[in-house]
Structure 1
C-alpha cells in the first residue's frame, strides 16, 4: 500500500535519524577498537584503523566542501558563515553538519501542514547529498575496516567481542548504504516507482550476501600476505580507475575534483558494482561481476594453498563454504529481484508515495541536485526519455 505524503515525510525523517545514528555508532565502534588495540599493545592494528578512518574522513570532507562551494550562493541560506563551514570541514565535522542540516530541514517540512514546494525540494536536495556521502564513507572506510578486522581475526586465531560488534555493524551499514543510495536515485526520476517493502528486503539481502565472499577473499589474502595486499589493491585499483576514466565521468564541478570522484568510484568497484556512465548497465555489471569473481577465486586459491600458516583454531573450510553459499544465494536473489521484484516489473499508475520528483516541470525553479540527477540518468537512461515522452514503453535497464 503506498505511503501517504505525510507518512512518507515521517518515514524519511526517521530514516535520516537512523542513518545519522548508524554513522555515529560506526565511528564509535572504530575508535573503541583502536583504543582496545592500543591497550593490548597492538599498535600497528590501531594505526591501520585510525589511518583508514582519517583518509576516508578527509575524502568525505572534500566532497562535501566542493559541493557546497559549487552550489548557488543563496541556496543554503540561512546557514553558518563560510568561514565557520570551512572550519567545520577542517575539523572533519562537515558530514555530520550535513546530517544535522538534513534532519532540521526534514523536521521543518514534517511540522508544516502544507509545506511549500521549495521546502520539499530543498529537503530532497539535502537528502540526496547525504545519501551520496554515506555511500562514499561506506566504501572508503567501513568496508576496508571490515576487511581489516576479518584479516586480524584470521591472523590472530581469535576474535574479541568488540571485533564481532564491528563486523556485524559494518555488514548491516554497508548494505543499508547501498539500499539508501538506490532508493535516493529513484526519487530523482518521475518515471521510476519506488522500491516496495519486499523489493527493499531482497535488494538489501543480495547486496549483503554478495559482499561477504568478496570481503572474505580479500581478508584471507591480507591475513596471509599483509605486505602484498597493498600491491594487489593498487594494481586492481589502477585498472578500475582507468575503466572509470575511459567512461568519461562528469560528476564533479571541475576537472581536478573529478579525479577525486573517479578514485572513489574505483575503490567502490574493488568491492562492489557501481555504475557511472550512461547506457545499458547489464553488460558492464556482468563484466564487473565476472572480474571480481575471478579475482576472488584466485585470492582464495592462494589462501588455501598457504592455509597452514594460519592458526589451527581457524575454521577456514567452514568460512569458505559459507562464503560460497552466500555468493550463490546472493546471485539467485539478485536474479529474483530483477526478474520479479524490480519496480519496473510491477509499475502502478498514479501511485502516491509522498515523493517529490526532482525532474518534474513544476520543479524547474526549485532546488535541483543536478549532480545526483545526472547520475540517476546514467543509471536509468530510458527514464529521461520517458519523462519527455510519457507514452513510451517499459523502462529498460538494470540497477
Structure 2
C-alpha cells in the first residue's frame, strides 16, 4: 500500500454495511405496513404525512446519488469501472438514470459496495481497499440523510400518535423500534466511515463508536420526544410553521458558513437545505472553522426550542402523562438526558475522537492538510500532483537552461470534484 494516509476496511465494517442493508429493507417493509395500517384505520392525515415523508426522502436520496455519479471525473469513473463491474456495465448502457428515476439508486450503491468488498476479501489489494472505503463513505452519508429526512420525522410521527392515543399497538411499537435501529446504525456507519481516514488503526476499535452512538442517542431522543409531544396536542399547522421557521434559520446559518460540498450552485443549495433538515434533529459539522463555538450555539438553540415545545405541550395538557409518567417527570427525564448527552459528547472529544494530526504528516503543506487519502485520489490508476499521491507529490520536471538545470514550477492545482472533494470536505470537518 502506498505511503501516507492508509485506507483500512476491516471485515467488521463490511458486516456493518450488510446489517445496514437488512435494516434498510426491514424499514421499507415496515413503511408499507404502516401505510396500510393507517388506511385501514381511516387515519388519512397520518397516512398522508407518512407518504409525504417516504416519497420526499426517497427523491432527496436519489437526487444526491445521481448528482454524485455525475460529479465524478472521467478518471474516477474509469478507475471505478476497473474494479466494480456492475457500475461499469450500467455506465456503458446508460441505465444509471433509469435506476434513479425508479428510486433504486441506493440499492445500486449497496450492490457495488458488496461486490468490491467481497472481491477485496478474496484477494486483498490496496486499490480495492480504497474503493471499498470510497463507496462506503458515500453510502454512509446517504444513509445519514435518509435517517434525518425519513426515519427521524417518521419516528416523531409514531411517538406523537402513541402519546395522543396513550396506547401502544404492536405494529406501531415495531415500527418505532425499527426506526430507532435505523437511526443508531446510520450514525455509527457514518462515524466508522470517517474513522477510516485515521492513520492510527488502533483508533478503529468499537469503543469510540459505541460512545459516539451513546451521546448522539442521548441528545436525539429528548429532541424527538419534545417535537412528538408538542405535535400530539398542538395543531398540525402550528408544528409546520415551527419547523419552517427553524429550518429557514438553519438554511441561512449554513449559507453564512459558506459551505462548498457540491460541485454546482444548485447542488450546493440542495445540500444546505438538507443540512438544515439534519440540524432540526441533530448536530452535523459542515465547516472546520470554530466548530466548538458553532456546536455550543447549536445545542443552546435546540435546548431552548425543545424546552419551549415541552412547555407548550404541558400547558395544553396540564394533567397529561406519557406511559403513566407525569409532565414534570418528562421534563426531568428529557433535561437529564440532554445534559448527560452533552457530558458524554465532551468526554468523547477529549478521549476518543481522532485528532487531525493523526491523519496527516506535519511536514505537509497547508494545501495537503485537507486530508485527501491517496488511494481515493488515484482511483483511476493515474497519479496527479493535485491528488497528493506520495509517488509524485514531490516530483518536478527539470528544464535544461544551459550549464545549469533548474526545476520547473509545478502546474497550478486543479479544483477537486466528485468523490475526492466530498471525502476531503467531510473528513476535514469530522476531524476539526
TM category, shorter: 0.7 to 0.9
Distance 2:286 2:59 in 1: 22
1:303 is matched with which residue?
313
Distance 1:14 1:348 in 2: 25
1:35 to partner: Cα distance: 1.1
**Aligned partner of residue 42 in structure 2, secondary structure:** coil
Q: Deviations over 1:137-191 (max 9, x none)?
A: 0011000001111111112222211111222222232132122212212323547
Distance 2:209 2:342 in 1: 16
CA contact (8 A) 1:183 1:194 kept: no
1:370 is matched with which residue?
420
Unmatched 5+ stretches in structure 2: 1-5, 82-87, 361-369, 381-417
Structure 1 vs Structure 2 CA RMSD: 2.9
1:90-169 aligned within 5 A: 90-112=101-123, 114-115=124-125, 117-169=126-178
2:263 is matched with which residue?
253
1:372 to partner: Cα distance: 2.7
1:326 is matched with which residue?
337
1:8 to partner: Cα distance: 5.0
Q: Does 1:227 align with 2:237?
A: yes
**Aligned partner of residue 83 in structure 1, secondary structure:** coil
Q: Deviations over 1:317-344 (max 9, x none)?
A: 3444332332222222222222333344
CA, structure 1 residues 72+300, in 2 after alignment: closer, same or farther (shift >3 Å)? same
Q: With structure 1 as the length reference, what TM-score do the two structures score? A: 0.85
1:250 to partner: Cα distance: 1.0
1:377 to partner: Cα distance: 4.4
Unmatched 5+ stretches in structure 1: 350-356, 384-396
CA, structure 1 residues 362+263, in 2 after alignment: closer, same or farther (shift >3 Å)? closer
1:316 to partner: Cα distance: 4.6
1:213-292 aligned within 5 A: 213-225=222-234, 226-292=236-302
Q: With structure 2 as the length reference, what TM-score do the two structures score? A: 0.78
Q: Deviations over 1:245-290 (max 9, x none)?
A: 1111111110011111111000001111111123131110000000
CA, structure 1 residues 194+375, in 2 after alignment: closer, same or farther (shift >3 Å)? farther
Distance 1:362 1:153 in 2: 49
CA, structure 1 residues 56+362, in 2 after alignment: closer, same or farther (shift >3 Å)? closer
